[in-house]
Amino acid sequence: MINRVNDEINRLIGLLEEKQASDGAWYFCFENGIIADAYLIILLRSLEMDDEALIQTLVRRIKEKQTSSGTWKIYHDQEEGDLSATVEAYYSLLYSGYVNPEEPKMIAAKQFIIEKGGLSQVSLFTKVMLAFTGQYHWPENLRLPIELILLPPPIPFNIFDFVGYARVHFVPIMIGANKKFSLKTLRSPNLSELYLTEKSNESTFKLMAWQEKMIENALNQLSDLKNPRELAFQKAEEFLLNRIENDGTLYSYFTATFVMIFALLALGYSKDSKTITKAVNGLKSYACKTDRYTTIQNSPPTIWDTALISYALQEAGVPPSDPMIVKANQYLLAKQRTKYGDWRLHNPRAIPGGWGFSPSNTINPDIDDTTVALRAIQTNAFYDPSYLYAWQKGAIWTLSMQNQDGGWPAFEKNTNKKYTSLLPIKGVESVTIDPSHADLTGRTLEFLGNYAGLNAYHPSVQKGIRWLFFNQERNGSWYGRWGINYIYGTWAAITGLKAVGIPSNHPRIQKAIQWLLSIQKEDGGWGESCISDAKKQYVPLQASTPSQTAWAVDALIAVYNRPTPTIQRGIQCLIDLGKEKDWRTTYPTGAGFPGNFYILYHSYRYIWPLLALSHYRSKFL
Structure confidence by residue, pLDDT tens digits, 141-197? 677 889 889 988 877 778 898 899 999 999 999 999 999 999 999 999 999 999 886
Q: What is the pLDDT of residue 206?
A: 54
C-alpha atoms less than 13 angstroms from C-alpha of 90 in its C-beta half-sphere: 35
Share of the chain above pLDDT 90, in %: 86
Return d(Cα 603, Cα 598) in angstroms, integer.
15
3-state secondary structure of 500: coil
Q: What is the pLDDT of residue 301?
A: 98
The CA-CA-CA angle for residues 263, 265, 266, to 5°, reads 60
Give the type of residue at 466: R
The CA-CA-CA angle for residues 79, 81, 82, to 5°, reads 115
The winner for highest mean pLDDT among 286-295, 425-434, 538-547 is 538-547
Buried b (16+ CB within 10 A) or exposed e, 581-598: eeebbebbbbbbbbbbbb
Task: Give the class (CATH, top level) of 2-28+301-339+364-620.
Answer: mainly alpha
For 597, phi and psi rounded to 5 degrees?
-140, 110
Q: Judge whether residue 511 has pLDDT over 50.
A: yes
Determine whether 368 is an active site residue: yes
Q: What is the pLDDT of residue 208?
A: 56
Rounded to a whole number of angstroms, the distance between the first and last alpha carbons of the chain is 9
Overall fold of domain 30-296: Glycosyltransferase (1.50.10)
Q: Which of 82, 366, 368, 434 is catalytic?
A: 368
Return d(Cα 379, Cα 323) in angstroms, integer.
14
CA distances from 159 to 144, 148, 342, 358, 432 (A): 11, 7, 11, 24, 10
DSSP string, 199-241: GGGSPPP---HHHHHHHHHHHHTTTTSSSHHHHHHHHHHHHHH
The CA-CA-CA angle for residues 79, 76, 27, to 5°, reads 150
Average pLDDT, the chain: 94
Could you tell me which of 621, 588, 599, 604 has the C-alpha nearest to residue 76? 588
Structure confidence by residue, pLDDT tens digits, 233-274? 999 999 999 999 999 999 999 999 999 999 999 999 999 999
Structure confidence by residue, pLDDT tens digits, 467-479? 999 999 999 999 9
Do the domains at 2-28+301-339+364-620 and 30-296 have one common CATH topology?
yes
Q: Where are the domains of the chain?
A: 2-28+301-339+364-620, 30-296
Could you tell me which of 221, 279, 308, 306 has the C-alpha nearest to residue 607? 308
Q: Are strands 597-601 and 590-593 parallel, antiparallel or unpaired?
A: antiparallel
Q: What is the pLDDT of residue 203?
A: 45
Q: What is the pLDDT of residue 201?
A: 40
**How are the residues of the chain apportioned to helix, strand and coil, as percentages rounded to the nearest 5?**
55, 5, 40
* Cβ pair 595, 427 in contact under 8 A: yes
CA distances from 130 to 95, 212, 242 (A): 12, 27, 27
For 495, phi and psi rounded to 5 degrees?
-65, -35
Residue 224: band (very low, low, confident or very high) from pLDDT cuts 50, 70, 90: confident
* Cβ pair 134, 190 in contact under 8 A: no
| 197: enclosing H helix or E strand | none
- Mean pLDDT of all residues in 293-321: 97
Residue 207: band (very low, low, confident or very high) from pLDDT cuts 50, 70, 90: low
Cα 154 to its chain centre, rounded Å, is 29
DSSP string, 422-459: GSSSTTGGGTS-----HHHHHHHHHHHHHTS---TTSH
What's the predicted TM-score (pTM) here? 0.96
Q: What is the pLDDT of residue 154?
A: 77
Q: What is the pLDDT of residue 199?
A: 46
Q: What is the pLDDT of residue 200?
A: 40
Return d(Cα 504, Cα 591) in angstroms, integer.
29
Structure confidence by residue, pLDDT tens digits, 27-57? 999 999 999 999 999 999 999 999 999 999 9
For 579, phi and psi rounded to 5 degrees?
-90, -10
